[in-house]
């Protein structure tokens, strides 16, 4: 298990078989966006992994964070490999619905 820490945000990575789950904890905003990108960089390109991002402990996300999720979606979609976002808290789901990113997180988009 790898732990990447900064004061208000950290990402915890757990790998079980070929499923890699990244737990986002705290506040994902502009100031920690580079940390998040750094954590995700080696994982996004790994076609042997089923990549899951778990948001249950994410307290806050801004458009920068949503933008990073979108780039991951695009990259994984382009490689035709799995990417799922799970346990989205209500107030974050609201932002996903508002911006229109939710439809790309829908199960049918990721289940093939």
Among 14, 42, 77, 79, binds other proteins (CB under 8 A): 77
Smallest distance, other proteins to C-beta of residue 16, A: 27
Q: Which residues lie closer than 8 Å to 90 by C-beta, 6 or more apart? A: none
Q: Is 2 helix (H, G, I), strand (E, B) or coil?
A: strand
84 touching other proteins, by CB under 8 A? no
31 touching other proteins, by CB under 8 A? yes
Cα distances (Å, whole numbers) of residue 67 to 29, 48, 100: 11, 24, 12
Instruction: Please say whether the beta carbons of 2 and 13 come within 8 A.
Output: yes
Smallest distance, other proteins to C-beta of residue 3, A: 21
Two structure tokens written together for 45: 């390109």
Question: Which residues are near other proteins by CB under 8 A?
Answer: 8, 27, 29-31, 60, 62-64, 66-67, 70-71, 73-74, 77, 91, 95, 98-101, 103-104, 109
């Amino acid at each position: 298990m790898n732990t990447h820490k900064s004061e208000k945000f950290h990402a915890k990575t757990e790998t079980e078989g070929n499923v890699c789950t990244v737990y986002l904890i705290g506040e994902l905003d502009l100031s920690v966006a580079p940390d998040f990108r750094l954590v995700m960089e080696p994982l996004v390109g790994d076609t042997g992994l089923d990549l899951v991002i778990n948001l249950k402990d994410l307290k806050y996300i801004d458009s920068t964070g949503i933008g990073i999720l979108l780039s991951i979606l695009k990259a994984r979609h382009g490689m035709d490999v799995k990417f799922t976002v799970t346990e989205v808290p209500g107030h974050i789901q609201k932002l996903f619905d508002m911006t229109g990113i939710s439809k790309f997180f829908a199960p049918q988009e990721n289940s093939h």
